[in-house]
Structure 1
């Protein structure tokens, strides 16, 4: 079996790169959704949510960079055009959302879908002992599960 410089099988690493690029694309759409709701939120909860949405999009920027760097580390090229992002996007695109509950629902739905993508990557990376990708996905999953719990608590909904 041919391996790359990291000692990972080349063919399987290429599949992980492909999945990471799907995640990267979806995170870019998630990031832009967060920017949109940050800019457009209105109402009595504006001050709290405006700050929270900024916190979330700042965190997303960091995660986007980490995903792109992981793609490079594993030997791939990160997607970087809006055309690529839209082509691989699986998230709902939030347009002109200014209502607090609708904004939070968009976040919960988006994070839930990102978790699905991350778990696919986690499964595939575990199969080839790609600990770097495993650790990244595990960290993302733990943080996003907590954010979903907090957002649902804000919405006063149960899991």
Structure 2
């Protein structure tokens, strides 16, 4: 088995980088959705949600950079065009969403898809002892599960 400079199997690392690029594309759509929600939210919860969406898109921007840098660390090239993002994303694009509940549902649905991709990557990185990718996915999953719990708690709120 041929190993790369990191001591990881070359073929499996290339496959892992493809999955990381899929995650990158989905995170870019998620990020842009959050920007749109931040800009377009209306209603009595505007102030709280406006700030929450900003917090989420800032966090997503950091994760996007981490994912792209991990792809580079693995010796591959991160996707970097809107065409690539759209063609590789499974997330729904949220356009002109003003309603608070619709916005939160979009976030929950997006996080559900991101978690699916991250768990695939976690499994693949674990199989080849890629601790760098594995640790990153574990951190992402832990944070996003907590965010989903909070968003779902918000959706259950009685008016």
Q: Where on the TM-score scale, by shorter chain, does this alignment land: which range?
A: over 0.9
Residues in 2 aligned to 1:79 and 1:93: alpha-carbon distance in whole angstroms: 18
The answer to whether the aligner puts 1:21 opposite 2:21 as a matched pair is: yes
Superposed displacement of residue 156, structure 1 = 1.1
Residue ranges of structure 1 left out of the alignment (5+ in a row): none
Residue 79 of structure 2 is matched in structure 1 by 79
Match of 1:104 in 2: 104
Q: Which runs of 4+ in 1 moved over 4 A?
A: none
Output one character per residue of 1:101-143: Cα deviation in whole Å (capped at 9) or x when no partner: 0000000000010000000000011000000000000000000
- Report SS of the residue matched to 1:32: helix
Map of 2:35 onto structure 1: 35
Alignment correspondent of 1:8: 8
Give the match's secondary structure for 2:56: helix
- Stretches of structure 2 lacking an aligned partner (at least 5 in a row): none
**Equivalent pairs, count:** 157
- Distance in 2 between the 1:87 and 1:106 partners? 19
Give distance in 2, aligned partners of 1:51 and 1:37: 11
- Name the TM-score, length of structure 2 as normaliser: 0.98
| SS in structure 1 of the partner of residue 77 of structure 2 | coil
Counterpart-to-counterpart distance in 1, 2:50 and 2:133: 32
Equivalence for 1:93: 93
CA distance in 1, matches of 2:3, 2:80: 26
